A and B are shown apart, each in its own frame.
Chain A
Amino acid sequence: MRVLKMACCLLAMTASGKTPLQKPPVKEMGRTNPYETQPAAEQAGHKLFLRECSSCHGTRAEGTERVPALASPTVQQAPAGAIFWVLRNGSLRHGMPSFAHLPEQQRWQIVTYLKSLQ
């Protein structure tokens, strides 16, 4: 049953043609992270990640059966602006809510943390 559900998810993503990280407009993808590689922002981002994201994506961003891992090459190679855009808009069709209620600074702190994951 699980395999069937995962297959359906993959099929839906394939049918839509794009993963959430490939959807952002070019202008958004080009945005730069004001906190890039700052250790304090990375630490704050880790705190926010545990609070806001880890219940779905796992405490080490390893993902679960239904939710993608964020400590993955796809996320690491994605532009910071694309991750920021997904945090702002969510991916409602795939079950990810919008995190626009977090101030922009906190979303960039989360992006900084995600980019630090190997």
Chain B
Amino acid sequence: MQVVCIFLLSLSFAWPTLAGEGPFFVTYTHQMEEPGNLEFGVKNSTGRPVAGNRFLGLTAELEYGVKAWWTTELYVEGQSTHHDSTLFTGYRLENRFRLLEHEHWINPVLYLEFENINGADRSLLEVVGNDGEDDLMGLNAMTREEKKREIEAKLILGSYVHGWTIAENFIAEKNVRHAPFEFGYAVGVSRPLALAARPADCAFCPENFQAGLELYGGLGTHQTFGLGSASHYLAPTLAWNIPNGPTLVVSPGFGLTGQSVGFLFRFGVSYEIAQFARMWRKRS
């Protein structure tokens, strides 16, 4: 109880700062969380498979900057399906390590994740292997029985060019108990609506908005590597960093292949508390 009180008190005195991996839902950039900062947020996705019920995938995330080169994150996931049920589907723990000390044309970051989720998961935080619409159609009572304990690695490559953010992610995932290795990709570009900041404080200043586009999908398995049998999505995104407030992100996604859900809508909110660790130490 005391811990909860301290946490809530910390939030009330929190120094908000801009949450910040750009406007993407799937693609990671090489931007790391600032050391000592805590970001919490939600990322939700909703869609309706052709022969299934509409679902809402819910993901809560806590991201913390351990070092300037090391960010760690916890995801807790659940979902709700129309005419079915609402359930907790699992969690993920991930760590990102920046590999080079200085900025270069291309900046690599290594991403390592352990996920313990079940087959009813609808978070769609990435698409790998031959993931498709079929995986989103089963009854929750049945799909939740499928346990997915997986290790995922990503190579994140990021660049900033004349105000543009360009990021490419290569994903490899494997269930800890059995084959196959599954692969996926995500690429994204984004840009603030204005490059220079205006002198006045304003919520609707164009520099507070970022527009982008991301493309992500599966690349099959080590036996069936390729673009053909997986789902792929193209998704415009828009983020609004409200000064001294949260960041809101929306993204309509369009399925590009027969295996994809025709239309996915994603929305998220995040809020960053600067120097959370220092406040925590002081208050406790």
Question: When chains A and B are docked, how far (Å) is the Cα of A90 from the Cα of B30?
Answer: 13
CB–CB A51/B17 < 8 A: yes
Chain B, Cβ-Cβ closest to A89: B102
Q: Say whether A55 faces chain B, with CB atoms less than 8 Å apart.
A: yes
Which of chain B's residues have a CB closer than 8 A to the CB of A92? 67-69, 98, 101
A-B residue pair count with CB separations less than 8 angstroms: 80
Which of chain A's residues have a CB closer than 8 A to the CB of B103? 88-89, 98, 100
Chain A 58-91 against B: per-residue CB contact (8 Å), 1 yes, 0 no? 0000000000000000000000000000001111
Instruction: Of the listed stretches B53-61, B149-157, B191-199, name the one at the interface; the rest are far from the partner chain.
Output: B191-199
B residues 82-119 in Cβ contact with A at 8 Å: 98, 101-103
Instruction: Of the listed stretches B31-39, B42-50, B169-177, name the one at the interface; the rest are far from the partner chain.
Output: B31-39
The 7 closest A-B pairs by CB, nearest first: A55-B274, A43-B199, A105-B196, A103-B195, A44-B197, A103-B163, A92-B68
CB–CB A109/B98 < 8 A: no
Chain B, Cβ-Cβ closest to A40: B199
Question: When chains A and B are docked, how far (Å) is the Cα of A113 from the Cα of B196?
Answer: 14
CB–CB A97/B201 < 8 A: no
Chain B 200-229 against A: per-residue CB contact (8 Å), 1 yes, 0 no? 110000010000000000000000000000
Q: Say whether A116 faces chain B, with CB atoms less than 8 Å apart.
A: no
CB–CB B207/A106 < 8 A: yes
Task: Give the number of residues in A that approach B within 8 Å (Cβ atoms).
Answer: 28
Which residues from chain A sit less than 8 Å from chain B, CB to CB?
40-41, 43-45, 47-48, 51-52, 55-56, 88-93, 95-98, 100-101, 103-106, 109
CB–CB A109/B165 < 8 A: no
Q: Say whether B130 faces chain A, with CB atoms less than 8 Å apart.
A: no
Question: When chains A and B are docked, how far (Å) is the Cα of A103 from the Cα of B254?
Answer: 29
Question: When chains A and B are docked, how far (Å) is the Cα of A105 from the Cα of B163?
Answer: 9
Question: When chains A and B are docked, how far (Å) is the Cα of A41 from the Cα of B198?
Answer: 8
CB–CB A101/B31 < 8 A: yes
CB–CB A44/B196 < 8 A: yes
Chain B, Cβ-Cβ closest to A105: B196
Q: Say whether B20 faces chain A, with CB atoms less than 8 Å apart.
A: yes
Chain B, Cβ-Cβ closest to A88: B103
* Minimum CB–CB distance for B6 against chain A, Å: 19
CB–CB B163/A104 < 8 A: yes
20 A-B contact pairs sorted by A residue (CB < 8 Å) = A41-B199, A43-B199, A44-B199, A47-B199, A48-B197, A56-B34, A56-B275, A89-B102, A89-B103, A91-B68, A92-B98, A93-B101, A97-B35, A98-B31, A100-B31, A101-B29, A101-B160, A101-B165, A103-B192, A105-B163
Which of chain A's residues have a CB closer than 8 A to the CB of B199? 40-41, 43-44, 47
Chain A, Cβ-Cβ closest to B22: A101
* Minimum CB–CB distance for B143 against chain A, Å: 38
* Minimum CB–CB distance for B197 against chain A, Å: 4
Question: When chains A and B are docked, how far (Å) is the Cα of A47 from the Cα of B32?
Answer: 22
Q: Say whether B18 faces chain A, with CB atoms less than 8 Å apart.
A: yes
Question: When chains A and B are docked, how far (Å) is the Cα of A47 from the Cα of B207?
Answer: 12
Chain A, Cβ-Cβ closest to B201: A47
Question: When chains A and B are docked, how far (Å) is the Cα of A45 from the Cα of B197?
Answer: 8
CB–CB A55/B165 < 8 A: no
With known contacts A89-B103, A106-B197, A97–B34 Cβ distance under 8 A? yes
Q: Say whether B15 faces chain A, with CB atoms less than 8 Å apart.
A: yes
CB–CB B198/A106 < 8 A: no
Q: Can you name 5 extra interface pairs (CB under 8 A) apart from A52-B17, A106-B207?
A: A43-B200, A44-B199, A55-B37, A95-B67, A104-B162
Question: When chains A and B are docked, how far (Å) is the Cα of A91 from the Cα of B199?
Answer: 28
